[in-house]
Structure 1
């Protein structure tokens, strides 16, 4: 069962709590599909199953609180924590993943926490690694809060309004009409591409010297 289908079977309050819980655990450093849960909940909001404001608020809270807990864990455990995690979960915390995250922190500093909210790998590493590298907490909290608000609020708003628009379009046109429009668009793009390739081939042919004709 897809996450979106499963979420439709539980009460709205449980959906809100689940969004905050999953995103909080992911931000803490546990590899979970936080973004998928947020997108699915935002689509349900577009279907008026749950409030989009509540979804965004839960995601923001989970992101900020989870990252802060991850920061505290990383500051206490240090880099040995990542070595241990790399042995236990090599697919998510292997040396290559850690090296990539460290390079991001070296390049962007506190803004690695902000931008990390939008990148799956850094979203898991940002909090614990910032703590392990002893980033000042006020810098971390600033970037963490901004990243959580922009990512959670932006993702919810975009998916919500796209869902509203898609629902309106699908209510006006039948599936057959929609399919015909998609096929027509694909066919037109293919035809134009073939025409452009043929024109380019003709230009190249005209530009090449004639191998038969020789100067007198």
Structure 2
């Protein structure tokens, strides 16, 4: 049985600890369906089998702990450790490259967005941020609000649509993809507008004195 299915099978039995463990491992880069497992957790909250606040609190603590582990791994190990990790395979190299580029362009906002909107590169942004020397306070204050959105979103969805958890999981995945595409489109539109305005200003040269 695949590891993801094992975690899903253990959620109804062990509850919050299994959900939190899955979230932690997922935020460290282990390929686990943490979003789906949080949806299942939300459905168990709706049925009264799990308490809401401890479930959210445990998942948020797990996610933030993983962020700190990733950050300090990069901070202590430096760029050499990140490069060594990227050399493990084509996928890791591509994700580390994306994380570096995105962090370089967006700074602290990249930390916030990669907690929930671009969560697939979040585990790679953390060590890159540490290796790049981002201040710990800036990193932490950017990461926590993003993780709060991510955790609450999926647990609340599972709570509200407990009877249709599989359909909601598919819709949520598609919705996050559409949302990410929309944000990218808005950003590109903003950049194009700035470029056009800059060219217009440069084309209007001030007249010299007669």
TM-score range (shorter-chain normalised) is 0.5 to 0.7
Question: Would the aligned equivalents of 2:82 and 2:131 in 1 still touch at CA under 8 Å?
Answer: no
Question: Would the aligned equivalents of 1:39 and 1:156 in 2 still touch at CA under 8 Å?
Answer: yes
Return closer, same or farther for 1:59/1:44 CA change in 2, 3 Å cut-off: same
Question: Would the aligned equivalents of 1:76 and 1:132 in 2 still touch at CA under 8 Å?
Answer: yes
2:10 aligned with 1:7: yes
Return closer, same or farther for 1:122/1:5 CA change in 2, 3 Å cut-off: closer
Partners of 1:3 and 1:111 in 2: CA distance: 35
What residue number does 2:201 align with? none
Partners of 1:33 and 1:113 in 2: CA distance: 21
1:143-158, aligned counterparts within 5 Å?
A: 143-158=142-157
| Residue correspondences, number | 161
Deviation at 1:30, TM superposition (A): 3.8
1:9-88, aligned counterparts within 5 Å?
A: 9-10=12-13, 14-88=14-88
Q: What TM-score, normalized by structure 1, do the two folds share?
A: 0.65
Deviation at 1:138, TM superposition (A): 0.7
2:102 aligned with 1:99: no
Q: What TM-score, normalized by structure 2, do the two folds share?
A: 0.67
Partners of 1:133 and 1:160 in 2: CA distance: 39
Which ranges in structure 2 are unaligned for 5 or more consecutive residues? 166-210
What residue number does 2:107 align with? 109
- Aligned-pair RMSD on alpha carbons? 2.4
Question: Would the aligned equivalents of 1:29 and 1:70 in 2 still touch at CA under 8 Å?
Answer: no
Summarize deviations over 1:166-208 as a string: whole Å, max 9, x none: 59xxxxxxxxxxxxxxxxxxxxxxxxxxxxxxxxxxxxxxxxx
Summarize deviations over 1:75-109 as a string: whole Å, max 9, x none: 11122222222233x25412x21121112112221
Aligned partner of residue 50 in structure 1, secondary structure: coil
Q: Which moved more, 1:61-70 or 1:34-43?
A: 34-43
Rg comparison, structure with higher value: 1
Partners of 2:26 and 2:7 in 1: CA distance: 18
Deviation at 1:140, TM superposition (A): 0.3
Summarize deviations over 1:136-176 as a string: whole Å, max 9, x none: 11110101111111211222112211226x59xxxxxxxxx
Which contiguous aligned blocks of 4+ residues in structure 1 show a shift greater than 6 angstroms?
none
